[in-house]
Structure 1
Amino acid sequence: MAPFPVYPVDTAGVSSYFSSFPVRSCEFNALPTIQKALDETIYSCTTPGSRERKKAVYRHSNPAGNIFGLSLALCEADRIGYVVKLIEFLCIVDDAMEDLPFEEACIEHSILRQALHESYDDDRYGGQAVDLMKNFLRELRKELVSLGDLSTSLLLKTLDTSLRDRDSDDSEFTTLAEYIPYRKTNFDYDFVCQLLCWAMNIPLAVQNDPLARAYEHIIGVIVGLSNDYFSWEMERQQTTDRVRNAVPVLMK
């Protein structure tokens, strides 16, 4: 299916949110699909009044326009809902896991990953923090598998790997060279890149082109370090047994 129609965005009223490059969005036509996917994800994966739900709602109060409408203009219309669900799901997972002690977070990730394997479909144990998310992911996996194409199967395998590795290292990094590969893994970068390519129906041969991979790596480093910079003031005040930010690495 072709992408939703896109329209130029007038950025004059919120110029601080944008660069000088032209901006286009599919929000006008895609918003019902996006909002439905967001509502299903947020209300399936979080409980009323929880910190995770409050953060999810706040995440989409951007005055400059819907972030998915701005980001997914080239994605095929029938895949945008899946992209929204998977990215919002990972944001909620991150919110739920970040305050857990390292060992507990590893266990909860392992329990969550069971939702990606049919052999665990009768296992209803939801751990301490991921019960709702596990149920949501299980049903989403079944829906994606029913699409019956190879690229979707590969996408689910990459998601499984990402959930396995995203919070699997409690090392104290001393250099950016050590930290950056972990940082990209920690925000599911390889999976998100593959997800967007899948949604745009980009062939695997193009995705694996060395030039494309090099470009993806550079963008991943920029995104990861930018996020660290802007979130450091908040993160430095959090009580945690593992600091995952480039700022303290650079301060050593």
Structure 2
Amino acid sequence: MPYNSVPVDTSGLPLCFSRMPVRIHRDKEEIQRFTLELVNNTKEEGSKAHKHALYRHAVTGPDLNVYALSWCEADLEKMKLLIEFIELIWAHDDVTEEDPLEDAISECEQLRRAMYEEYDDEPVADNQFGLRIKRFRDIRNRMKAIDSVGWVEIQDTMEEWLPIDKLLKNWDNLEEYLDLRKVHVGNNVMTSFIRWAMGIHLTKDELTFIQPYTDAVGIWLGLMNDFMSWKRERTQPTDRIMNSVYLLMNQYKLPEDASIDMVRGILIKQEGKVLEQSKVLHETPGLSTGLRAYIDNLEYYAGATFYWSLLAPRYAKPQSFDVDN
């Protein structure tokens, strides 16, 4: 049962068509304070990363803090370290998603190597990216010191996620696209954060058992992110577009609005599959306390991302953040 969070009532939101549960951490004010302090202390004022971060957090307030929502049952001190880690990744993602693919892949490889102590002697650039590498190494050491087993799981999922752009291509169909999108959306990384932040250590058999459900949630998250972020992504300067709205527009020669509606319908259908699997899992006898807590928090994470994406200005009112703006 939840200890660190309280439910969020979404019944009054006319555009909230998801049935996923939403909860928020009881320490949301402290989490918001820490988030803003971190943003202002670690990002160069006026930089693209700083502008993105402020728009993500400063205008939303504690009731819409993405961390307090997404990891609502996390230990508070672990949450703070997790925020440091995610903010660094988010800054990296916001900047590199508009870089040429070759440059983005190169920077992802450097960040990947920063997960391992054996590369710590490698020189880093004297710029913002170099500072991110140094901070990444420091955060890595602190996370590993708290829970080395959980850190290895995070490391493994990051190893899968960071080079994912190398697999991008022109997709032939939605099924093929979603098979990679569930990884590209960061689902395995974010769910490993749940386990680390809550001190949940699942056995290999338990992780294998729950993987079909985790994958179903990942497909839902990919579709949800595509649906919510299309308004932002449709005008981004980039040489690659990873969005099912765009894919269906091209595959079926659909007008934009029709493709958006089609993705919404597919998303609702996928949510039904997720909730049905969740019901079966909750009725399954003999599951460990840790696995049951993990199943619950997968749902809370999914519900949080929908709720935040629906209301946060990052997607509702996307802005351009060129450095000279």
TM-score, normalised via structure 1 length: 0.83
Question: Which letter maps to 1:154?
Answer: E
Name 2:229's counterpart in structure 1.
231
Name 2:83's counterpart in structure 1.
84
| Aligned-residue RMSD, C-alpha | 2.8
Structure 2 matches for 1:23-42, cutoff 5 A? Answer: 23-27=22-26, 29-33=27-31, 35-37=33-35, 39-40=37-38
Assess, with a 3 A threshold, how the Cα gap between structure 1 residues 129 and 160 changes in structure 2: closer, same or farther: farther
- Rounded to whole Å, the distance in 2 between the matches of 1:113 and 1:5 is 32
- Shift of residue 220, structure 1, vs aligned partner: 1.2
User: Gapped runs of 5+ residues in structure 2?
Assistant: 252-325
Determine if the alignment matches structure 1 residue 117 to structure 2 residue 103.
no
Name 2:130's counterpart in structure 1.
131
Name 2:51's counterpart in structure 1.
54
Maintained 8 Å contact 2:105/2:166: yes
Q: Taking CA–CA contacts closer than 8 Å with sequence separation of 6 or more, which of the two structures ends up with the larger relative contact order?
A: 2
- Rounded to whole Å, the distance in 2 between the matches of 1:87 and 1:62 is 18
Structure 2 matches for 1:60-209, cutoff 5 A? Answer: 60=57, 61-62=59-60, 64-126=63-125, 130-147=129-146, 149-163=148-162, 165-205=163-203, 207-209=206-208
Q: How many residues align?
A: 245
Question: Which letter maps to 1:54?
Answer: K
- Rounded to whole Å, the distance in 2 between the matches of 1:188 and 1:202 is 19
- Rounded to whole Å, the distance in 2 between the matches of 1:104 and 1:148 is 33
- Shift of residue 37, structure 1, vs aligned partner: 4.9
- Rounded to whole Å, the distance in 2 between the matches of 1:90 and 1:34 is 18
- Rounded to whole Å, the distance in 1 between the matches of 2:36 and 2:165 is 25
Deviations 1:74-133 (A, max 9, x none): 222332113222332222221011111111111111112221121222223238762222
- Shift of residue 192, structure 1, vs aligned partner: 0.9
- Shift of residue 17, structure 1, vs aligned partner: 7.5
- Shift of residue 142, structure 1, vs aligned partner: 1.4
Assess, with a 3 A threshold, how the Cα gap between structure 1 residues 103 and 148 changes in structure 2: closer, same or farther: same
- Rounded to whole Å, the distance in 1 between the matches of 2:110 and 2:40 is 20
Name 1:221's counterpart in structure 2.
219
Name 2:255's counterpart in structure 1.
none
Question: Which letter maps to 2:44?
Answer: T
Maintained 8 Å contact 1:96/1:129: no
User: Gapped runs of 5+ residues in structure 1?
Assistant: none
SS in 1 for 2:239: coil
Question: Which letter maps to 2:141?
Answer: K
Assess, with a 3 A threshold, how the Cα gap between structure 1 residues 161 and 235 changes in structure 2: closer, same or farther: same
Assess, with a 3 A threshold, how the Cα gap between structure 1 residues 78 and 128 changes in structure 2: closer, same or farther: closer
Deviations 1:109-164 (A, max 9, x none): 1112221121222223238762222121111011122235322233223223322x
Maintained 8 Å contact 1:151/1:198: yes
- Shift of residue 245, structure 1, vs aligned partner: 0.8
Assess, with a 3 A threshold, how the Cα gap between structure 1 residues 26 and 180 changes in structure 2: closer, same or farther: same
Name 2:247's counterpart in structure 1.
249
Deviations 1:16-38 (A, max 9, x none): 586677754224x3532553255
Maintained 8 Å contact 2:74/2:197: yes
Maintained 8 Å contact 2:144/2:151: yes
- Rounded to whole Å, the distance in 1 between the matches of 2:40 and 2:164 is 21
Name 2:13's counterpart in structure 1.
15
SS in 2 for 1:100: coil
